[in-house]
Amino acid sequence: MLLTLILFFLSLMLIGITTVPVFISLIVVCAVIFKRSWLFFLAAVIGFFLDLFLLRLLGQTGLFLAVFVLLIFLYERKFETQTLSFVLLSSFLGSFFYLWLFKYQMVLLQSLITALLSVLIFYVILNLFQDPTKHKTEMLK
């Protein structure tokens, strides 16, 4: 939970600095790792603050992020979601549709940066909190 709050405040700080949707990376990584219903609330809060900072109609981004979290949770029943490929693809598609929907420039480049950032965050979190004995036994198989 502490990690989620740190990532949340980091993404809020980066909203004003860059147009790359860092919050998509946060949502994807948290949804894949934690798989909890409070992520809908987190998506709504991030969307509210994002709409507030960017002077948009309140609720647009929150609705998009809530639907995005719902899609991730729906696909978790069909696919293995805790993989680098799922994180890469879902964050790329999520950021692509977000940037396209809200008419940003250089959509493909920003989506690619967001996807790579998501994979990096996911990889660091998995290696940071993984049990070292479990990793050694998996390598022996």
- What pLDDT digit, counting tens, does each position of 11-61 carry? 666 666 777 888 898 899 989 988 899 999 989 988 998 888 888 899 999
Domain that holds residue 75: 2-140
SS3 81: coil
**pTM higher than 0.75 for the full model?**
yes
- Position 62 pLDDT exceeds 90: yes
The structural domain count of the chain equals: 1
pLDDT band of 141, cuts 50, 70, 90: very low
What pLDDT, on a 0 to 100 scale, did the predictor assign at position 88?
A: 96
pLDDT band of 138, cuts 50, 70, 90: very low
Rounded Cα distance, 17 and 100, in Å: 20
